[in-house]
Structure 1
Amino acid sequence: MEDSGFPWTLGHVHSLISSLYDPKSPDNVATTQALLASFQSSPQAWSMAYELLKLPDEKVKFFGALTIIVKLNRDSATLNEEDAKELLKHLMTWYLSSLKASASLLVPRKLASALATFFLHFHQLWPNHVRHLTICMVEDRFYDPFSTDRPQDVSALVCKADGNTLKAILWVITGIMEDVTRLEWNIMNNTGLFTSVIQHTSDAVALLFQGLTSHRISVAGNEVVKCLQSWILFAQRLPSRDSHIVGLLRQLMPTVIQLLPVDTQFEVSAELLIEVLNSYPTLLTNNEFELLASLLISPWSDEQYQRLFHESPDFDSTQFGHLLLAFGEERCQWLMQTNDGRSKSILAKLCGLLTSEGVPGIENRVFVAAIEFWSNLTETMSDLVYSGEIPTTPWAKQALDSVLEAVSNAWHKIIYPPQEVVNKWDSSDRVFFAEARKDVIDFFQSVYSLCGSRMVAIFVELVLTAVNDAAWPRLEAATYCLAGLAECGRGDAALDVLMTPVFESSLFTDLASPNGNIPNRTRQTCVYMIEQYTEYFQRNISSLAPALRLLFHLLGDRSMAASASKSILRLCSSCRHHLYSEADGFLAEYRNLSLNERLDCTCSEKIAGAIASVIQAIPNQDERSHASTMLLEHVYNDVLLAKELFGRSAEAKMSRVGHQCGCDTWTLEHPALHSALKALKCLHSIGRGFQSPAESPIELDNGSLLKAKNDGHLALSHRKVVEIITDIEAIFGQNAEVMELICAILRCGFSEGEPGPFVLDVDVVTRYLTSHNVNTPRPGLLVTTAASFVSSLQIRTDVDKESTYAVLLHWVVSLLRSLSGEPERDTELSHNGIDFVCRLLIKSPRTLLSLQPAAAAEFFFLFTLQVLDGNEPLPKGAAAEFWATFTALQGDQADVQEPIMRVMDMLGPLLVQSLIRNIGGRGSRSELDKLSEPLKKLIVRFPMAKHWLQTAVNHDSFPSSKVTSEQKALFVRKLLALRGSRPTNQIVREFWLSARGSNFSYAS
């Protein structure tokens, strides 16, 4: 590799450039590019770029111009004033020459960029740059920019320029504006550059006005509009929205609007106006909005609009649709509240956009934006008028009629096309269409807030009509919309009258009919709709049994089983108090389904959870416990199968389990593992089903948990749960998914306030957790489970909590010890272990402070300090939270306060040193807020904090050499003065920035 000191020759560079375009040596491109980049870094590149630009080869000239740009951006500081002036002269001369000599625009456009880059670095050497550039271009020669004897009127100069010359001027000015707009406004070094641009706005506007209104518009119109767009973006970024600039730019907008009907200018002018309407509408006055409104109802507009309904709408017609929508968004209230021909016509077109050609989200790029417009209009209308006032508010009634017409158009548009069309979609097309449908539902939900149950009535009628006509695609779309409205009317019993005809129609019979030709998608959507109306079935018990019969019938159809099982789970969970008398029937049905192998793993999991929900609602505890034992026996059958399969040959196993599980990956793993995972997933689903409904009250004082020990059936259920877990772990205990599911199963009983199969005895859970060591897959999961377990003990009245806390704490500390002083060996364990102790510290400080042997507690404290000095963000955050909690502990008892003081006397200096090392640059910015918390608590509670801080900032381990002793002292004084208040965090961030090497300086 050549270095910057290599004596480059023109011939060598020329040959390297040529080799880039040599098709015979593609493998050498990367090496050549690296060599040329090295050349551009060399001091010789300045002078040699001049020579490259004199050569006739376009590719070589292009590279010469590129080299100038690179050198300006990297090494502009190496040019003195005279050299820079000379460079401007050469750039302008080369630019003029390239416009006449170049066969393509490659070199001229790159030289235009070079001139723009020059202005960025030497704007002070290019006064009146717009006027000077125009003079040079028009008169085809370079003039000294500091001369004062040239014409001052840009408009008069532009009149002499042909279309190509005007384009060349605009390329440079657009480049300047795009580059300037990307710069930071709050940097002092850029102030002069921005001022220079602002001072010459009038020249630029005069140039743009001539370009927009002259005969050259056909040649340079696109470039004029692009340049104007760059000025508008610049004006948007001005901190004060300079009224002078805005006023000048505003003068050009009527002319831009008048360009819309010009075919060659439509694309860029429409793009500009869409951007202005969406992000800078204040640039337009009422006059411009009137012009636009008139144009949008003109014959030209009608022609553009009609093209949207052709089989393949072109880009311009789609762009017109977006222009119409941008206008509608900005003039939304005017369209709603104004009762004149123009507003009605525009609103009708906006409604008609929902019927434009193409599948939404795929071929049709206007539909989704149109739905968003109607959603916004509906929400705006809701803000302006209450639903009850609509009939007496004339404009609101008319607007609602338009909204309901949009509803009708949107519903028709989301009907699935014929299956042969859908089969041609790729995965992205399917996602886009599904997202478009979701957007439609969001719109319908907004409309519901205006007209309430009328929306439900509309789709109930559509569903019933589609059922009678056997119009299955329409039925699918209508039930999808009706399902989407369920959330709006949840809890509203008045809707039951509307929904009853649907659930009492022939819909259930048609869906269950074996001879029916209803497509699977339609059946799945209907099942989804049933699931969404669970509250209806809670209030209308007579419809519940037919719904469940249908769903259980559909379990036999593999294409419907997943949807049906999900809906069964939802219905049984919500309606459990109406179904518990049928628990035996559910168990028998589940037994039959399992024996006939009609359920795959996922469906079994959901059906087991559904039946558990029903059993949970049985009022009699003996009956409930007996039923739960029967259900658990079904799960244990899968455990027995897993054990049996584990001992068989692989061939025999696969022939049986592959069919039963219905899992796509069964051939890739041990088949017994599938049976085991199925058992655990079903057990977890059962555990969730047995959890009390959220609305059920928890009685803390009734002693029910104590009575649980005397229930023989319940004790049998407990033993069965533990047996399932331990049997599977004995075979597959090294599988991480197995351990994850076991932890989830244990947590099912932690939040319960009533006896249940998963509310295990405290000593059983404790023994199980503490039987594991660091060799268990993901031991951190078990520690997290232990933390949840500790929290759950608050409602247990039958245990010695302190003893349990101590046993679990010893176990967690032993796991952390097993990391052999390397916390980052298992960051999950380190993080969760510290988090466990932190939670325990809040509940029972004595457990940690009186831990025996004392060496165990000492190890933990030092472990957290080691983690604080590490690099892993999650454990470090947990350690910071632990110390913030520990240093904030309050308590009047001597057995709490005295140990705290002893710990802090010994470890306080080390803790502060660790915090200061992080704040002094070792930590990351995202960690600073968490690290500030223990620091604030230390300052408030411990008098020695001042000494510790002063020692820490001057300690040899302080990581930064960029902070002076005075800055360190000032930092400590500020911390102490703030006394742990919120501004401490900002002071910490500033000190960290200073230590990292920023140019921050403290104010005294």
Structure 2
Amino acid sequence: MDQIPIPGSLDEVEHLVNRLYEQNSSSAISQIQEVLQRLQKSPEGWQVAEGLLARHADNVRFFGALTFIVKLNTEPLNDDDAGSVLQKLIDGLLKSLDAGAGAIVIRKLCSALVTHFIQYSHIWPLCLRYVVSCLQNSHSGSIQSAAPVDPDVQSLPPQKSVAAIWFATALAEEAEKTDLKSTKYISLHERMLSNAQDLGSLLVRSLAGQADIQSQKEAIRCFQAWLLYAQRAPNEELTSNLRPLLQPTIQCLVNDELYEAAVEVLTDTLSNWQTFFKQVDYSLLYALFDSLWAQEKYQSLLQGDFDFDSVQFGSLMVAFGDAQITELMDGTNERSQRFLAALVGLLKADGYPVAEDKIFVPALEFWSQFVESMVDNMYSEPQESVNWNAPPLSYLTQLVSHCWKKIQYPAMGVYNSWDSTERVGFGDARKDVSDLLQSVFAISGQPLITLFVNLTLQGVSNAAWSELEAAAFCLGSLSDCVSDSTSCDDILSKVFGSQLFDLLRQGQSVVPVRARQTCLSLIERYSEYFSRHAEYLPAALNLLFSAVGDLPLAGPSSKSIHRLCSSCRSVLTSEVDAFLDQYEALRGGILDSLAEERIVGAIASIIQALPNDTDRVHAFKRLMLAFGTDVEKALQLKAYNANVDSQDPIVARAYDAAQRPTEPVSSSEIGLQIAVRALRCLLGSAKGLQSPSESFVDLETEQNATVVASSAELAQVQQDIVGILARLKDEFSVSTEALDVICSILKAGFSETEPGPFVLPPQIVTEFITSTWYHRVASAISTACVFVTSLANGNFKNQVPQTIERLLPWVAGLLQQLQDPENDPELAQYGIEFAQKAMTKAPGVFLQLQPTSSLEYLFMFAIKMLSGNEPLPKAAAAEFWTNFITLKSSDQGTQAAVDSAIGHLGPILAHTLVQNIGGKASRSELDKISDPLKKLVVQHARAKQWLEAALNDASFPSDKVSAGDKALFVKKVISLRGSRATNQVVREFWLACRGSNFAYAS
């Protein structure tokens, strides 16, 4: 398309504007817009705006009004010119109204007038009065002679009345957008207050029904705009002028044509500004809710009418309830209790929550807040003052009953017809009910457990599966409320000692999958109960193990097995062989990998609880035999180097059902999957063997005692584990998952204080970490960091120096191979983090790193990281330098080496910090960069000299600060002596170096 020239006449401009609304290509429209925008911003823009406003077409007039707005926002005027523009806008509005221009033109002219007022409010401070006066007189008269709105508004015809209201609406909307804290707009907001009385006079007649429907609708919307403005700019004078408009708005609700606008403003204000309503207003709303009109709306909602208008009525009820919570808690107030009963009723509207019933969730949110308020109120009153059979407490039974019914799942066909949003919403509603029930329990206590126990048993006896599932879900929701108490054990025994478990074992041909899943999770949730009632454990565990092979139940059943065995480990030790038998039997079939990992962890937790060391070792060896089989198979497949048919049973072992391939797969890929599976089982067993967090710790034990293998048999098990890890690390060296799991297995033993298969001697761990890694070296270094920390905090403190002496050269060598931190940011980060650990845990060993060139390289590598662009490595480097600057040692030789190093490195570090603060760092990095700076100025007398040299160096990255600014920065930093205020000084200096355009840069 040819370049469009700048129009040379008003006719050409009009033609171009009309082209904008014709069918054109996007590139043509873009060009037209660009030309018109240039014209708007040109000096001739004022004349163009005035000329277009005098044309006949609405599109052209609209563009004329828009041009006035552009000019007012971009080109300052003196008072005389501003007054002239105001007259032109008023004249344009009057002429457009007389010509019958469309709403698009009138609204845009009102917006232009508001833009004028925002910029030049001092010229016509009583803007609303002036606009109404001009509309009433049909000409732009003297600003000073405009009379108050009250007498003028009576004679306005409907179209002019609506125009006045549109202006008032735009006035509030635009004023709300301004910065209330800015001194620039203080006078504007003062003048807004001056217009409040005229606003009330303008709107009250329309709201009271003395105008046409359109004017009434616009008056309600205008009222809402001013309410929103008043909430942002609270002022009692403004509020008092708005309050008389509230009751007329409430009365508009019963008018079908005004209902939508009125219900929106009332719901919004009740939700966000409850104090705006006075008692007389609340009384009017109570009366309204008691009216026949409201009862019809309410019944329509309960019968499943979830159209927008109907749901809005429910939302109004909920908002009113939120605003009246204190009154609704007064059981002696008959009026409030009638309304509370209606709010309970909202929970039984027809339809499933979210998918059909749109009011259930808002009503549920109200009841959650109400019950929490009741709980707070109860605990602030003497217990004898609570009447359980009188309102509002008596409504809790209805509340719970309605919720239980509403969260029952529909038939599978109905559920499958919902979209993903509806399914997620329904699930979230169930979670909200769960939270509500926990709050109700704080009031009702044991009877709530009894209710759901009875409903569960009722579901079992009636084979009512949806009811059973919902009751079990609700009962499970209350498990945390009674986990530490035996008060409900007898009631719970009615469920766990019933025929429920036998029924569930009959499979999904009898009980649907969803009900079985929920009932299985019930066992997990009440694991503390089973630890107190071992007589029910066999039936529960037999049920869970029978469900593991059922694909839809594998997840919840294995999770329950893990939780139950972990909680009840001490009472299950006599059955460890039976568990191992069960596991071996499960491995013979198809077993989900995550389920297997959990089951292995469950059995390992029982092994951990065995009282005899020998028994523990023997049981674990038997468990590990299964892993060994998988390991050998994985290695064989890796060496086989051929494709395997997808129907081969080994493929089912390698892949879960959802990921199982349909085409032949390479044996090496299958080997990798089996290796990862074996490793994850090994990790599950390592976690299971960890001592429970609440286990007894003997504080009298010698802290430096060495945890060693208690027998040759245990030592052999440890060697076998290390052998498995080493072989899989080397054979599957390209697998990120395999190597990360190997590192996690090592870490699992670090926190233990008692001998065990995974509590490996430090020298073995060190040898393993420093062996060859072809991939994921960063994970190995991260593991080394955790290892050193665990040694320092545990029973191996005396081995920290020699361990660091082995690990530090290895890490330094890896960083030297890396050369540049940005070649592998993760490795660089973990490498410097390890160097920091070594430095703080064994400063003497750190400073004696050989050859000395390696130590020098480490320091300069940390400087490079501090200069880099990667945020995490940079943060690690900042922490390294913060710790090095403050490093202290009781050994005089070591301390002398530290001081010497700082003397040499100080200028380099100061230079790097200044480069960052001078603009190279991002805003989010400044706090981290400030840490070493603060330590430097506190710890070293020459810091001021180093900083000044760095600031005045030719390489300083900014030319936006003067020498004086730099000197002042140093002075402030030095005087603050490392206090938190330094961070703000750094931020301000960085911003000055970047320039104002970077005020919000990251």
TM bracket (short chain)? over 0.9
* 1:339 shift after superposition: 0.9
* Partner SS state of residue 463, structure 1: helix
Matched, 1:642 2:640: no
Please point out which of 644, 659, 669 is paired with 1:665: 659
Farther-moved stretch of structure 1 (519-528 vs 672-681): 672-681
Q: String of CA shifts for 1:490-522, please: whole Å, max 9, x gaps.
A: 111111111000001110011001485211000
**Alignment correspondent of 1:677:** 676
* 1:688 shift after superposition: 1.0
CA RMSD of aligned residues (A): 2.6
**Alignment correspondent of 1:727:** 727
Matched, 1:612 2:571: no
* 1:36 shift after superposition: 4.4
* 1:12 shift after superposition: 5.6
Please point out which of 237, 249, 256 is paired with 2:249: 256
Q: How does 1:558-569 map to 2 (within 5 A)?
A: 558-569=551-562
Matched, 1:873 2:871: yes
**Alignment correspondent of 2:548:** 555
After superposition, the Cα gap between the structure-2 partners of 1:207 and 1:624, relative to the gap in structure 1 and judged at 3 Å, is same
Is the 2:590–2:652 contact (alpha carbons within 8 Å) kept by the matching residues of 1?
Answer: no
Is the 1:736–1:777 contact (alpha carbons within 8 Å) kept by the matching residues of 2?
Answer: yes
- For 2:379 and 2:972, locate their aligned partners in 1 and report how far apart those are by CA, in whole Å: 55
Amino acid at match of 2:858: F
After superposition, the Cα gap between the structure-2 partners of 1:222 and 1:809, relative to the gap in structure 1 and judged at 3 Å, is farther
* Partner SS state of residue 756, structure 2: coil
**Alignment correspondent of 1:135:** 133
- For 1:480 and 1:90, locate their aligned partners in 2 and report how far apart those are by CA, in whole Å: 70
- For 1:766 and 1:959, locate their aligned partners in 2 and report how far apart those are by CA, in whole Å: 44
- For 2:433 and 2:504, locate their aligned partners in 1 and report how far apart those are by CA, in whole Å: 26
Is the 2:306–2:358 contact (alpha carbons within 8 Å) kept by the matching residues of 1?
Answer: no
**Alignment correspondent of 2:84:** 86
Amino acid at match of 1:805: I
**Alignment correspondent of 1:427:** 420
Q: String of CA shifts for 1:704-745, please: whole Å, max 9, x gaps.
A: 984634523222322232233233223321122222211111
Is the 2:531–2:568 contact (alpha carbons within 8 Å) kept by the matching residues of 1?
Answer: yes
* 1:784 shift after superposition: 1.3
Q: How does 1:50-449 map to 2 (within 5 A)?
A: 50-73=50-73, 75-77=74-76, 79-101=77-99, 104-145=102-143, 148-150=144-146, 152-216=147-211, 218-238=213-233, 241-386=234-379, 389-390=382-383, 392-394=385-387, 397-449=390-442
- For 2:86 and 2:398, locate their aligned partners in 1 and report how far apart those are by CA, in whole Å: 62
- For 2:963 and 2:105, locate their aligned partners in 1 and report how far apart those are by CA, in whole Å: 56
- For 1:927 and 1:857, locate their aligned partners in 2 and report how far apart those are by CA, in whole Å: 26
- For 1:740 and 1:18, locate their aligned partners in 2 and report how far apart those are by CA, in whole Å: 65
After superposition, the Cα gap between the structure-2 partners of 1:325 and 1:514, relative to the gap in structure 1 and judged at 3 Å, is closer
- For 2:954 and 2:165, locate their aligned partners in 1 and report how far apart those are by CA, in whole Å: 60
After superposition, the Cα gap between the structure-2 partners of 1:972 and 1:706, relative to the gap in structure 1 and judged at 3 Å, is closer
**Alignment correspondent of 1:824:** 822
Is the 2:707–2:753 contact (alpha carbons within 8 Å) kept by the matching residues of 1?
Answer: no
- For 2:952 and 2:2, locate their aligned partners in 1 and report how far apart those are by CA, in whole Å: 45
Please point out which of 577, 596, 621 is paired with 2:613: 621
* 1:778 shift after superposition: 3.5
* 1:470 shift after superposition: 0.9
Farther-moved stretch of structure 1 (967-976 vs 549-558): 967-976
After superposition, the Cα gap between the structure-2 partners of 1:149 and 1:189, relative to the gap in structure 1 and judged at 3 Å, is closer
Matched, 1:894 2:889: no
- For 1:518 and 1:358, locate their aligned partners in 2 and report how far apart those are by CA, in whole Å: 24
Is the 1:632–1:717 contact (alpha carbons within 8 Å) kept by the matching residues of 2?
Answer: no
Farther-moved stretch of structure 1 (658-667 vs 936-945): 658-667
Q: String of CA shifts for 1:182-239, please: whole Å, max 9, x gaps.
A: 111222222222222222222222212232224215221221122122222222222x
Is the 1:816–1:833 contact (alpha carbons within 8 Å) kept by the matching residues of 2?
Answer: yes
* 1:583 shift after superposition: 1.5
Q: How many residues align?
A: 990
Is the 1:387–1:449 contact (alpha carbons within 8 Å) kept by the matching residues of 2?
Answer: no
* TM-score between the two structures when normalised by the length of structure 2: 0.94
Matched, 1:692 2:688: no
After superposition, the Cα gap between the structure-2 partners of 1:871 and 1:3, relative to the gap in structure 1 and judged at 3 Å, is farther
**Alignment correspondent of 2:935:** 937
Is the 1:387–1:451 contact (alpha carbons within 8 Å) kept by the matching residues of 2?
Answer: no
Farther-moved stretch of structure 1 (915-924 vs 675-684): 915-924
After superposition, the Cα gap between the structure-2 partners of 1:91 and 1:658, relative to the gap in structure 1 and judged at 3 Å, is farther
Q: How does 1:449-460 map to 2 (within 5 A)?
A: 449-460=442-453
Percent identical among aligned pairs is: 39
After superposition, the Cα gap between the structure-2 partners of 1:743 and 1:286, relative to the gap in structure 1 and judged at 3 Å, is same
* 1:33 shift after superposition: 4.3
After superposition, the Cα gap between the structure-2 partners of 1:203 and 1:650, relative to the gap in structure 1 and judged at 3 Å, is same
Farther-moved stretch of structure 1 (6-15 vs 394-403): 6-15
Matched, 1:631 2:630: no
* 1:770 shift after superposition: 1.8
Q: String of CA shifts for 1:61-107, please: whole Å, max 9, x gaps.
A: 3333333333433x223x44444333323322333333344564222
Farther-moved stretch of structure 1 (891-900 vs 659-668): 659-668
- For 1:740 and 1:726, locate their aligned partners in 2 and report how far apart those are by CA, in whole Å: 13
- For 1:62 and 1:760, locate their aligned partners in 2 and report how far apart those are by CA, in whole Å: 80
Q: String of CA shifts for 1:765-786, please: whole Å, max 9, x gaps.
A: 212222245xx43332222111
Q: String of CA shifts for 1:574-613, please: whole Å, max 9, x gaps.
A: 1111112211111111111112x23122221111111111
* 1:45 shift after superposition: 4.0
Q: How does 1:475-624 map to 2 (within 5 A)?
A: 475-514=468-507, 516-595=509-588, 597-624=589-616
Amino acid at match of 2:218: E
Farther-moved stretch of structure 1 (962-971 vs 299-308): 962-971
- For 2:912 and 2:706, locate their aligned partners in 1 and report how far apart those are by CA, in whole Å: 48
* Partner SS state of residue 974, structure 1: helix
Amino acid at match of 1:422: Y
* Partner SS state of residue 488, structure 2: helix
Is the 1:645–1:653 contact (alpha carbons within 8 Å) kept by the matching residues of 2?
Answer: no
**Alignment correspondent of 2:804:** 805
- For 1:654 and 1:847, locate their aligned partners in 2 and report how far apart those are by CA, in whole Å: 58
Matched, 1:467 2:460: yes
Is the 2:387–2:393 contact (alpha carbons within 8 Å) kept by the matching residues of 1?
Answer: no
Q: How does 1:691-770 map to 2 (within 5 A)?
A: 691-699=690-698, 701=701, 706=706, 708-709=708-709, 711-770=711-770
* 1:831 shift after superposition: 2.0
* 1:52 shift after superposition: 3.4
Amino acid at match of 1:818: Q
After superposition, the Cα gap between the structure-2 partners of 1:924 and 1:999, relative to the gap in structure 1 and judged at 3 Å, is closer
- For 1:291 and 1:333, locate their aligned partners in 2 and report how far apart those are by CA, in whole Å: 18
- For 1:278 and 1:418, locate their aligned partners in 2 and report how far apart those are by CA, in whole Å: 36
Is the 1:555–1:598 contact (alpha carbons within 8 Å) kept by the matching residues of 2?
Answer: no
Matched, 1:789 2:787: yes
- For 1:492 and 1:8, locate their aligned partners in 2 and report how far apart those are by CA, in whole Å: 88
Amino acid at match of 1:852: Q
- For 1:457 and 1:928, locate their aligned partners in 2 and report how far apart those are by CA, in whole Å: 58
* TM-score between the two structures when normalised by the length of structure 1: 0.94
- For 2:677 and 2:508, locate their aligned partners in 1 and report how far apart those are by CA, in whole Å: 33
Is the 2:4–2:31 contact (alpha carbons within 8 Å) kept by the matching residues of 1?
Answer: no
Is the 1:929–1:985 contact (alpha carbons within 8 Å) kept by the matching residues of 2?
Answer: yes
Q: How does 1:965-980 map to 2 (within 5 A)?
A: 965-980=963-978
Amino acid at match of 2:215: A
